[in-house]
Amino acid sequence: MSKRKNLVIIGQGYVGLPLAMSAVKAGWSVTGIDTSTVVVNSLQAGKSHIEDISDKELQHAISTGFYVASQSSESVSNSEICIFCVPTPLGEGEKPNLNSLESAIRNIAPYLKAGTLLINESTSYPGTLRDFILPLICNIRPDLNRHLGFASAPERIDPRNIEWSLFNTPRLIAGIDEFSTTLAIQFYESICKNVIEVSSPEVAEMSKLLENTFRQVNIALVNQLVPFCDAINIDIFEVIEAASSKPYGFMKFLPGAGVGGHCIPIDPLYMHWKAKELGIDLNFIWQAHQVNSNMPNYVTDRLISLANLHEPATVAILGVAYKSGISDIRESPAEKVAHALIQRGHKPVWSDPLVQTFHGFEKYTSQNISASIIVTAQRDLPISLLSSMGVPILDCTGSFKSEPGVSQL
């Protein structure tokens, strides 16, 4: 880009901050907006809260003057593009919760100018851009009707994935009209190696849901096989490795204590909710959700049986982030395991070298532990220490088969 253009990214988490750094490198002048005072203060001090972005990379972007973190939406008035990268969790009754998205829209609306392109990267149900974002903005700013661009480009961020980055992961985009699509393509081609245009925002939105529903369903399949393999005394992980030796027609998915993160436990239910609105029953997807949601109870019962816990005891949960190598605890199955232990009369404590706090639960230090369960395979977990003290350990990850005294799922 011969001249830097201005870009606003709303939300500076696992999606928004990497996007901001990529845009700065590509020649954009970026304002990263976040409602969290803690996040903004940390970013302004050059401290990254995202594992994929180093302090050095953040500090360099700040030093160039082309990245600013802020809580104010005023910079939208000087920007050509505004991108939403905000949380879209589930609300009451496992329905979509678009409160953060609506709040972001209401905050920026007073500062919008004609010609601005608004892009939604936040995962949601098909129709979110056309039926929710566009009408809301046009209702707040009727003076800008037909003078704004709208596009969907669902995020495809996989934290700590060293093979597939924001740059080399293909990006799906679609605008509501030719103007919007053209501008969106130009932007994403500046930061992504492969940009794929699809026919409508609804296709882009639905594709993101399908990607993670595919994972949810296949994880549910192997999770459902865990009790069966245990009953016939065979190792489910060995079965999966054997099956994955087939060079075609099989894709490897692993069982565990449940599913976590901002995608797999949530995205399929956005699809399920939208289908119910239309009177369509996606019962296969719902059953997969039920299977995976029950895994924390199942592994807790397996542990209690393994350790013969007949009296109230203190149990250590090892690895509480939702995946290895990160500190993110959103939707982590470890939290559900902790609650399952409490329901059965036991006290959970936890250990994870990458996590600072975990939903108010007590951290493992030197408590007397009666049993332990490995939920996420993090480095430097006290597995050998607990094993040497004779503590029964159930490994839900299949990563610690060589450790003495560790039983497999």
pLDDT (tens, 9 = 90+) of the chain, 409 residues, equals: 456 799 999 999 999 999 999 999 999 999 999 999 999 999 999 999 999 999 999 999 999 999 999 999 999 999 999 999 999 999 998 899 999 999 999 999 999 999 999 999 999 999 999 999 999 999 999 999 889 999 999 999 998 898 999 999 999 999 999 999 999 999 999 999 999 999 999 999 999 999 999 999 999 999 999 999 999 999 999 999 999 999 999 999 999 999 999 899 999 999 999 999 999 999 999 999 999 999 999 999 999 999 999 999 999 999 999 999 999 999 999 999 999 999 999 999 999 999 999 999 999 998 999 999 999 999 999 999 999 999 999 999 999 998 999 999 9
Q: Which amino acid is at 181?
A: T
Give me the catalytic one of 82, 85, 192, 263. 263
- For 316, half-sphere exposure in the C-beta direction (CA atoms, 13 angstrom radius) is 25
Q: Pick from 348, 211, 330, 209: which is nearest to 267 by CA? A: 209
Q: What is the pTM of this model?
A: 0.92
* Helices and strands in the chain: count of H runs, count of E runs: 13, 14
* Residue labelled with tokens 């030197």: 366
Q: Tell me the two tokens of residue 34.
A: 């976040």
Our answer to whether residue 263 is catalytic in this structure is yes
Report the C-alpha gap between 261 and 324 in whole angstroms.
11
Domains and CATH numbers, the chain: 6-199 (3.40.50.720), 256-408 (3.40.50.720)
